[in-house]
Amino acid sequence: MVSSPEPGAPDTAMEDTVNELVERGQDLVDSILDRAPFQSIVDKIQAGAPVWFQDDEGLSPLHAAAYIENAELLKYLLDEGAVWNAVDNLHNSAGDVALSLNNEECYTLIRDAGIRSEMLLTLLSKRDVQIESPYSLVLKASDTTAAGSTDTFLTSKLRYTTDEHGQDICLLTLEDGEEVGVMMGWERGIMQQTVRKLCSDHPNLSRGLKVLNIGFGLGIIDSLFQVLLTPPSEHVIIEAHPDVLQHMRETGWYDKKGVTILEGKWQDHIEALHIPGFDVVYTDTFSEDYLELHKFFEILPDLLEGPESRFSFFHGLGAMNALFYDVYTHVSEMHLADVGVDVEWSEVDVFADTRERWGKTREYFALRLYRLPIGKMRTV
């Protein structure tokens, strides 16, 4: 008869297993950095060395393979389940390491693994498969604060103000007192380029474009639409947050000619819109995850009037990390291609304005170059 361990007694078998995995994982990382023969690395993994291991500095076998620029080993590790988006204590992924070494082959292997992972996880999520995976990046929001949950955000308090640099900002205060910029004035350059590419050479500009924008924020892009050479013949804005709607009332948006404001989430109004019918569609919602954006992509063809209609969205997906941003650039392009929308990308240097952009708010875009998408329906 085997007796049960005393309550509170350490599970020595579990500790031994964990310790063994740590030892095997550290040995695997060290062996890769020491450039051990490929077969030796394979043997260690086949014997149980965990490819998902990270040491005290956050270094994983994938990081190590990137540091020694071994593309064959990187491919093997990824095939064996190495976590493509694991970051070390400095928030660098293996892809960032490869990028810093200007090793395009290694970087592309890691990036493409991320694209495959996110495409697969999106497909499984559409089928209501419950996924708990370290490979998913921003596929489904797990943040239940106002910064990551739409329902929590819509019941939160927003504050419109101007920072010490004269920048207009709309701020959200989280439960812990941290302030997050819902939209900030430094985005104006992005919005100016977006409106120019959406509208300046649009064949219907002279008659007045029919515009749909989802998410008002500071009203930057909607203001730019209003001052086009020919103002929009129809300008529909969908906005859900009560404080934003109040700000729109106070600043006269409800009284503007040709402007229709639909209060609520886009999911609440999409059936009521006259579709197809828009020359330009833009979306920039706060706190929605990529799954919701992907759902919007799927109904987009029904919103566009014809082949000359154009679409864009604020591309801040994974924008705290160059690899993640690159992965979601490709993932979003592929998902739009699935619905018949081809995308052309251009870049906007968001560091051109050297003024302090963030103040005391949480940073949400860490890269120098913003990738601006312009989508058009594919012509047959």
Report yes or no: 238 and 215 within 8 Å, Cβ to Cβ: yes
pLDDT of residue 360: 56
Q: Which tokens sit at 207?
A: 């008659």
Residue 312 and residue 193 in contact, taking contact as beta carbons nearer than 8 Å: no
pLDDT of the residue at 263:
96
109 closest CA partner among 140, 74, 142: 74
The pLDDT, as a whole number, for residue 16 is 77
Residue 138: exposed, middle, or buried by beta-carbon count in 10 A (0-12, 13-18, 19+)? buried
Domain boundaries, the chain: 21-126, 182-377
Angstrom distance (rounded) from CA 158 to CA 193: 27
Instruction: Tell which phi-psi region holds residue 177, choosing left (phi > 0), alpha (psi between -120 and 50) or beta.
Output: left
Contacts of 98 (CB under 8 A, 6+ apart): 66, 69, 106, 107, 110
Structure-token pair, residue 292? 């919701």
Q: What residue has token string 């929590």? A: 152
Residue ranges in the chain modelled with pLDDT below 50: 1-4, 131, 135-142
The DSSP secondary-structure symbol of 333 reads H
Q: What angle do CA 106, 111, 115 make, to 5 degrees?
A: 150
pTM (2 d.p.):
0.86
Tens digit of each residue's pLDDT (9 = 90 or more) over 156-175: 889 898 887 788 888 887 77
Q: What is the pLDDT of residues 103-126, one digit of tens each?
A: 999 999 999 999 999 998 888 876
The DSSP code sequence of 302-320 is HHB-STT-EEEE---TTTT
pLDDT at 359: 61
CA distances from 229 to 77, 200, 218, 258 (A): 55, 9, 22, 15
- pLDDT score at 2: 40
324-373 pLDDT tens trace: 999 999 999 999 999 999 999 999 998 876 556 656 555 778 899 999 99
Q: Look at residue 152 in the predicted model and tell me its pLDDT.
A: 81
CA dist 337 to 195, 202, 331, 344, 377, Å? 22, 21, 10, 11, 9
CATH 3.40.47.10 matches 182-377: no
Helices (H) then strands (E): counts for the chain: 13, 10
Phi and psi, residue 26, nearest 5° = -65, -40
Check residue 22 and give its pLDDT.
94
CATH of domain 21-126: 1.25.40.20
